[in-house]
Each structure stands twice: as structure tokens, then as C-alpha cells.
Structure 1
Amino acid sequence: MATKDEVETVLGRAGRGRRRKRGVYVLAALLIVGAVVWAVVSFTNRSGPEWIAEPVARTDIVATVTATGYVQPTNQVEISSELSGVVDEVLVDDADTVEEGEVLMRLDRRRFAAAVKQGQAQIAAAEAAVDEARAILDEAELALSRTTTLLDRGTASIEQHVSASTQRDRAAASLASAEARLSLAEAELDIAETDLERTCICSPIDGVVLERSVEPGQIVAASLQSPVLFTIAEDLSRMELDIDVDESDIGRVEVGQSATFVVDAFDDREFPARISELGYMPRTIDGIVTYRAVLAIDNEDRLLRPGMTATARIVTSEVGDALAVPNAALRFTPPVDVIPEPTEITGRRVWVVDGETIRPVPLRTGLSDGEVTEVLEGDLSEEDSVVVDMGAR
């Protein structure tokens, strides 16, 4: 049986356990109350969205069309040989300046000179044949005249007269044949002399040799696709830029519009140009329909070279000192849950900052350069700011 001391010890331990449990409950309750208070305070102090705005301003607006292409000479000539032969000498090289009629190269002339001599000999033989045929005709006409006189006197027969007449006709035909052979020989001599002249390949224009593709001793074979021996560009101080304009932009492009372009070799410099020609034939590049446009270029300083890749910027229209809003403002629409008031505005609009809130303003817009857009009508002024984006505080 337990003693009095043992009973008191057991009862003391039970009391201490109950006190520890009450402390845990109190601590948990305090934590819950603190969390609720923090949530209420945070919710009460939370503010609305932060409007990112830009000012309405006056500026010059320039609408442009961008296209790429290549710098080309205004006139470029590829020179081939009409004759087959061996190259005797080449007198020019790449980048040489040449004048119209200047000799570029010569073929070996010996075979062609021999053909000329042969033609001259054939003409001499043909001329001798003509003289002989003419003498025979004169003799035949004289015999026919005598026979006719004797026939009138009755001392010659009709058969003799017919024979004399036939001989005269044959002599006339022989003369005509000899004269035809002479004409043929003269034509063949003309061809031979022309070929002899063509052994000298000359420049058809004033210009610069862009490329020489022939060497002395090379055999040139004339055919339907004769090899190009020289490429000559006319007057590199005047060049053109051949560009492809997208079909979506071609309606805004006109002859006479000004433009600027850049090339990789001088990417820190803009070159002026002007549209001189617009094509109607479509060209499909990578599935995109484009139209050819030609820009005239002044290249007096000779910085630009044929074949350079260029990016052109064509000015299609421009407005000075226009009231404008950023394009981002025209694209911005606030979420439905933060719009201050419902609005039934349709069409283009911007949201103007009005104190702590924003309000919609309908607009009629005009020219755009891709960054800002002209305001033609709308309740806006330079003191206003329009929303372009939204961020949370």
C-alpha cells in the first residue's frame, strides 16, 4: 500500500504536465492572431496598379518603306568575241579606264588576213571572167547584126539568123553569171575584211573594266553562248540601286520619292538616292511577292562599287510639328478588373492618366512612322500623359 509521500509525488507531476499544455495553447493562439492582423493590415495598405505613361508631344513624323537590294552600274556591258581563234594580246586589266573604240585585245590575225587575200584574188578572177563574158557578148551581138543584114538582103538563111540570136543570148547569160560571181566574191571579201577587223576587240563605251576573263594564248571559241571576255561598266560616278519592294508597301512608293541607303562597307554613313523607275513584273523571293524599284545614285566620290548590298529607306510621306502619341499607347488595353469605369468607346483610343486613375480618349489618327502616330482628332494636349503599360506596386 502506497505511503502518503508517494501519493503527493505522483499528484505533483500531473499538475506540472497540465500547466505545460496550457502554455502551448496560449502560444498557438497568439501566433494565429498575429497572422490575421498582418493579413488585414497588408490588404488594407495594398494600392492599385502602377500606370507606366509617356507624354503626348509634338514632333515631325516621317513614314518610310524599307527594302534591300544591290548597287549596280547604270549601264554594264559584257563583251565576247564573234570569232574563234587564239588570243594574241590583251591590252587592259581590271579597274582600267577605257574609252569608246579603245582596243581591249587582239586575236591572231594571220588566218583572217589570208582569207582577205583569198577574197581579193577571187574578185580579180571574177572581174576577168566578167570582162571575158562581156567581150563574147559584144562579138555575139556583132555577128547577130551582120546576120540580120544578110537576111534582109536574102543572102542568109533564117536558120543562120536564129543561131546568131541564140549565141547572143547565151553570151548575155554568161555575162550575167560572171557578174553574179563577182558580186558573190565581193560579198565574201566584205565578210573576210569584217572578220579581220573583229580580231581587234574594242570597247563599245566609255567606262571602267570590272572584270577581265581572258589571257594571251587562250583559245576563244565562238558559239551560241560565247564566253564573256570583259565586263565594262559605264560611268561609275552615276549608279543605281536595284531593290525589291514588298507587295504590301508598293502602293505607297512612287517615282521621284527621296530615299537614303546604307551599305556594309560604310555602315556609319547614309547615301542619298531618288526613285527613278518602278517595275510592274512581280518577282517572288522565298514565297514573298516583290516588285522591282530602281534608285538613282550620285557616286562622284566613287565610294560605292557594283554589287554592294544596300538597305534603302524610302520616304513615302511626312508631317511636320504633328501632335503624336506613342504606338504602344494605341495598343494598350487595361485588364477588365482594373478599368476604372466601363466604356463603350469603339475604334482607336488611348488611356490618359487622370490623377490616381485613367480614362479612355477616342482618337482619329493619321500618319505613323512605326514609333509614334499623328493625332488628327481627339481630346488630347501636350500636357497629357498616355498609358503605354502597367506594373503592379
Structure 2
Amino acid sequence: MGIEQRLRAPANDAPKIAPAPVPSLASILGDQAPRRKRILGRVWQWLLLAVAIVAGSLLLWSYYGQGSVYTYTTQKVTRGDLTVVVTATGSVQPVAQVDVSSEISGIIRKVNVDYNSEVHRGQVLAELDTDKLQATVASSQAKLVAANANVAKAKATLNAAKATYDRQLVLFERSVMSAQSLEDTRLTMDAADAALKAVEADVLVAEADLRTAETNLTKAQIISPIDGVVLTRNVDEGSTVAASLQAPVLFSIAGDLKQMEVQVDVDEADIGSVAIGQTATFTVDAYRDRSFPAVITDIRFISETINNVVTYKALLKVDNTALLLRPGMTATADIVVETVKSALLVPNAAMRYSPPTESSSSGGFLGMFRPPRMGAVTTAEVPGGARTVWVMRDKIPTEKAVVVGATDGQNTQLISGDLREGDELVVDAVAAQ
């Protein structure tokens, strides 16, 4: 009893401390939930904002980012004069060229000229052997003399017959001569008159034969019909010439080489714009760095077809005072068919340009959000005869419709459209590496 009391006494004497209450899990979670919701809400807001910014940037880049995807080649809209030309090829030829042949057959005795010889009208180019021709002339002269003698004889016979008839007529009137005798005398006189007419006709024939022989003798000299230059000589001394319907050409003579012409073949597609009086320039292979002026003087109506290509011949007059041009030279002529002064000029390459297209399989995930792109234009034409070009606006190609006119093959006249001098037009696009 005593021991037990001693052992409990300290416990009874110590101060009593109340135990701290233990919070429940529900109370703990209930106090932290609003704060966690606020933090998570802000995190999601920032995350969604970042995603929106990134997605928007990607969309903008994918739609407007062609400046970084492609490198553009441009040419400027310029102002200047536009000259429209039609190009045709042909050859340089003399204005007048004559082929000289022989009208009679014979052997060439002498040739008086050679290639490039200057000749004058009436000059003897060559001579035929004249022995036979002179003999023919002599024979014709003799026949003419004989015919004249026969005429004289016939006249004498006729005069005698007339005298006899006159005497017998007087006797008949005196009843001394019979009518039959007078009639016989008259018939004799008529026969003498007919014989005279026959021999007079023989004289005419002999005179004609003599003139023919003399003409042939003069034709033994081959004469130049024009002033000019000998281009070809196809005969030598001793050559035999046979006259026929297709007599061989002995000489070709060109007229004044100081005046030449260019004969060009104009394509049927261009002939409608070519007219007499239009100016032109042409070049020849002999003088590649020099052009010669010319004027159209004639356009032939007859067509020529070569390799299924229909052309029309146009003649261009050329001043060849310096004698630089030679017959037969190949010429390439540029005929001026239209000139436009101080026009806005669009490069033809800009009208041929078409924007590149995206592959249908490209785009991936972004392709789902990318706005639809405009399809590629396969031609620069749009309805109404207008054209489309792409002009750089703020470094972005922008499509513009224009109406154009004349073209020289490199530039085209701008008739209307929202373009200004100095605008940069896209002519090519290359994907950036």
C-alpha cells in the first residue's frame, strides 16, 4: 500500500497536457483544392496561348512564307518605243538580169568579154564564124540580080506583045485582020503580062532571101541588149552553138549593180501586215556587223509552197552604190510593220510566267489548317483577250490582269492594267535551297 502510493504520487503531482486534435484527410484536401485549381487553370491558359501562337505562326508561314520558299527573278516595266518587225529570208538579186543566147547556129569564132566585164548596150559580146553566112548572102544577091533580069526580059516581052496587039487592032478596025488573029494576039499579050508579074514576085522573094541572109550575118555578132556587168560566160572560142526553141544561154548580164533588190519569202501568217512602202533592214553573211536599209517596192500575189510552207515574194529596193552587195547573197530582212512611241512595255517573259503549284501530297498536318491555294495558271491568257502577270507587292507576288497590244517578241505594249513604270514583274521562281 505504501509502495503503491509512492509510485503514483509523481503521476498525480505532474501537470496535465491536453492532446492536439488530428486533422482529417478530407479537411486537408478541402483546404488545398481551390489553390490547385487556380494554378492548373493558369498553366492551361498559358499553354493554350503558346499553342495558339505557334499554330498561328505556322499557318502564317505556310501561307505567306513563299518569299522564303522561292527565289523570284523579276524584270521591270519600262517605257520606250516599240518596233514590230516581220523577219523574212531571201537573196540579193540585180534589178534587171538578161540571159543572152544565139538566134542562129554556128561555131564561135571570137569571145570579146569575160566574167565581170562591164558592157554597154549594142556591144559585141562574141562572134560566130561567118563564112557560110557570107556565102548565103552572096547567093541571095545573085538570085536577086537574076530575078531582076527576068523582070526586064518579061517587060520587054510584054511591051512587044502590046505593040503587036495595037497594030493588029488598027488592022482589025480596017477589016484587014480577022477577029481570031486579034484575039490570039491579045492572049499572047496577057501571057506576057502574067509572066512579068511572076518574075516580079521572084524579085520580091529574092529580096526577102537576101534580107534574111544579111540579118543572119548580123546575128553572127552576139550583142549585149543592156548596160551592165557580165555575170556568167558559158561559151568559148570554137564552141558549136545550135539554135533551137531552148537555145543555150551564152551570157548572163546584170543591169546596174548600184541598184539591187532583195527578194524575200514572207510567211502567209505575216503577209497581211506587210505593205508596199514599208522600210526594212537586212543583213548578209559577208557583213555580219552591218545592216543595209531597204524599202518594199512590190509584193507578188502568186504564192510559193516549199516543204508545205506557203510564202509570198516581196521585193526590197536597195542602194548598192558602194558595190558591197553581190548577186545571190543570202539576206535576212526585218520589215518594220508597226512602230509605237513612248509605250509602257511589259516583258514577254512575265506573261509566260505561271506560279508554282504545291504537290497534292505535301502539307502534312499543317495542310489540314492551311487555307486553299490558288491553282497554277497554265497560260497567261484570261477571257476577253487580256493577260495575267505577277507583280511584286511588299515582296509578295500579286496577280494582275492586263490588256496588251503590239509586241516585238521581247516586250509587249501595255494598253491597260494596274501597272506602273518600274514595277517588278515575276518572270521565274526557283525553290530556295
Q: TM-score when scaled to structure 1?
A: 0.86
Alpha-carbon distance between aligned partners in 2 of 1:325 and 1:75, rounded to the nearest angstrom: 45
Deviation per residue, 1:193-234 (Å, 9 max, x gap)? 000101111111110011111111111111221111111111
* Alignment match, 1:262: 283
- Tell me, yes or no, if structure 1 residue 365 matches structure 2 residue 404: yes
Q: Is the Cα–Cα contact under 8 Å of residues 81 and 220 in structure 1 kept in the other structure?
A: yes
Aligned AA (1:352): V
Q: CA deviation at 1:315?
A: 0.7
1:339 CA drift (Å): 9.1
Greater mean alpha carbon deviation, residues 43-52 or residues 356-365: 43-52
Asked if the contact 2:107–2:238 (Cα under 8 Å) also holds between the matched residues in 1, the reply is yes
Matched to 2:153, the amino acid is E
Does the aligned pair in 1 maintain the 2:356–2:429 contact within 8 Å?
no
Match of 1:239 among 257, 260, 268: 260
* 1:194 partner letter: T
CA contact (8 A) 1:340 1:357 kept: no
Residue 222 (structure 1) aligns with: 243
Query: Which deviations, in whole Å up to 9, do the C-alpha atoms of 1:338-377 show, x marking residues without a partner?
Result: 9976899643121111113222222111110000000011
Match of 2:28 in 1: none
Identity of aligned residues (%): 45
In structure 2, list runs of 5 or more residues that go unmatched. Answer: 1-57, 359-370
Query: Which deviations, in whole Å up to 9, do the C-alpha atoms of 1:42-81 show, x marking residues without a partner?
Result: x989933333221111121111111111111111111111
CA 182–204 in structure 1, closer or farther in 2 if over 3 Å, else same? same
Q: Indicate how the Cα distance of structure 1 residues 107 and 339 shifts in structure 2: closer, same or farther if over 3 A, else same.
A: farther
Change in 2 beyond 3 A, CA 1:339/1:135: farther
SS at match of 2:257: coil
Structure 1 CA distance for aligned equivalents of residues 332 and 308 of structure 2: 20
Between 182-191 and 61-70, report the one with greater CA deviation.
61-70
C-alpha distance in structure 1 between counterparts of 2:231 and 2:177, whole Å: 83
The one-letter code sitting in structure 2 at the alignment partner of 1:75 is: A
Q: C-alpha offsets along residues 109-135 of structure 1, whole Å, 9 cap, x if unaligned?
A: 111111111111111000000011111
Partners of 2:372 and 2:329 in 1: how far apart?
Answer: 53
Name which of 51, 71, 86 aligns with 1:50: 71
Aligned residue for 1:325, secondary structure, equals: strand
Letter in 2 for 1:163: D
CA distance in 1, matches of 2:156, 2:305: 74
Q: Which of 174, 196, 208 is the matching residue for 1:153?
A: 174
Provide the C-alpha distance between the structure 2 equivalents of 1:388 and 1:339, rounded to a whole number of angstroms.
24
Q: How does 1:109-188 map to 2 (within 5 A)?
A: 109-188=130-209
Inter-partner Cα distance in structure 1 for 2:74 and 2:242: 74
**Cα distance in 1, alignment partners of residues 423 and 208 from structure 2:** 89
The one-letter code of the counterpart of 2:408 is: D
Deviations 1:316-345 (A, max 9, x none): 111122101101111222145599768996
3-state SS of 1:93 partner: coil
Tell me how far apart the structure 2 counterparts of residues 87 and 350 of structure 1 sit (CA, whole Å).
74
Cα distance per residue 1:62-109 (max 9 Å; x no partner): 111111111111111111111111111111111110111111111111
1:284 Cα deviation (Å)?
0.3
Question: C-alpha separation between the residues in 2 aligned to 1:366 and 1:209?
Answer: 50
Q: Is the 8 A contact 2:147 2:202 kept in 1?
A: yes
* Partner in structure 1 of residue 81 of structure 2: 60
For the Cα contact (< 8 Å) 1:260–1:273, is it kept in 2? yes
Q: Which of 330, 345, 364 is matched with 2:351 structurally?
A: 330
Structure 1 equivalent of residue 310 of structure 2: 289
Task: For residue 267 of structure 1, report the CA deviation from its aligned partner.
Answer: 1.1
- Structure 2 residue 91 is the aligned partner of structure 1 residue 70: yes
Give the structure 2 partner of residue 356 of structure 1: 395
Residues 340, 358 of structure 1: 8 Å contact kept: no
1:137-175 Cα deviation digits (max 9, x unpaired): 111111111222111111111111110111111011001
Q: Indicate the residue corresponding to 2:217 in structure 1.
A: 196
- Partners of 1:246 and 1:175 lie apart in 2 by 72
Q: Highest Rg: 1 or 2?
A: 2
Residue in structure 1 matched with residue 14 of structure 2 by the alignment:
none
Secondary structure at 2:121's aligned position in 1? Answer: coil
Local SS of the residue matching 1:178: helix
The CA deviation string for residues 19-40 of structure 1, in whole angstroms up to 9 with x for no partner, is: xxxxxxxxxxxxxxxxxxxxxx
For 1:300, the equivalent position in structure 2 comes to 321
Q: Is 1:382 aligned to residue 403 of structure 2? A: no
2:102 matched residue in structure 1: 81
Question: How far apart are the structure 2 equivalents of 1:56 and 1:340?
Answer: 27
Using the alignment, how far apart are the partners of 1:279 and 1:272 within structure 2? 21
1:53, 1:386 within 8 Å by CA — same for their partners in 2? Answer: yes
The normalised TM-score by structure 2 is 0.78
Is the 8 Å Cα contact of residues 69 and 309 (structure 1) preserved in structure 2? yes
C-alpha distance in 1 between matches for 2:97 and 2:163: 66
Q: CA RMSD in A?
A: 2.1
